[in-house]
Structure 1
């Protein structure tokens, strides 16, 4: 895979992340509680996580490095977005 393919994969993941976060903001907006600071913080942190993993992928030119960090990014963002990280943390403790 080339650099262009990795950029395309990361853009696709960013668009999915954007769609999911806009859906969450819409859900918070139509609820009685409204949008609070913790909701905005979690959404901003999800984009910060994406950006950090994006930078990590392109620190080195090895394909193994990029593929491994792409897979780690997908898993971490999946657990972050779905809230499964909290239940996974309860399994450990």
Structure 2
């Protein structure tokens, strides 16, 4: 697994992240309540988390480093998108 495969894996995660966030935005769009800052927080910050982990993966050329940070990114984004992000956004902005 070289650099190209890690770029491909990261782009796949970005596409999945974008698709999930588009579904969330669509759900808020068909609702009557509108979106507040606490609703935007998990959506925007998920892309920031992805970008930070993407940059960290390529700071060193070790494959072990990349695999470790890729797995950490997937796990953190999973927990972030399944409720941790909205919980933090609710606590910060309400």
Short-chain TM bin: 0.7 to 0.9
Is residue 42–residue 81 contact of structure 2 (8 Å, CA) maintained in 1? no
Deviation at 1:64, TM superposition (A): 0.1
Counterpart in the other structure of 1:30: 30
- Between the two proteins, the alignment pairs up a number of residues equal to 87
Counterpart in the other structure of 1:48: 48
Paired with 1:40 and 1:59, the residues of 2 have a C-alpha distance of: 30
Q: Give RMSD over aligned pairs.
A: 1.7
Counterpart in the other structure of 2:92: none
Paired with 1:86 and 1:44, the residues of 2 have a C-alpha distance of: 11
The gaps in structure 2 that reach 5 residues or longer are 88-94
Q: Over residues 7-45 of structure 1, what are the superposed CA-to-partner deviations in whole Å (9 max), with x where a residue is unaligned?
A: 000000000000000100111111111122222222110
Deviation at 1:82, TM superposition (A): 0.7
Task: Give the TM-score of the pair, scaled to structure 1.
Answer: 0.87
The gaps in structure 1 that reach 5 residues or longer are 88-93
Point out which structure has higher relative CO (alpha carbons under 8 A, 6+ apart): 2
Which structure 1 residue ranges, 4+ long, deviate > 3 Å from structure 2? 84-87
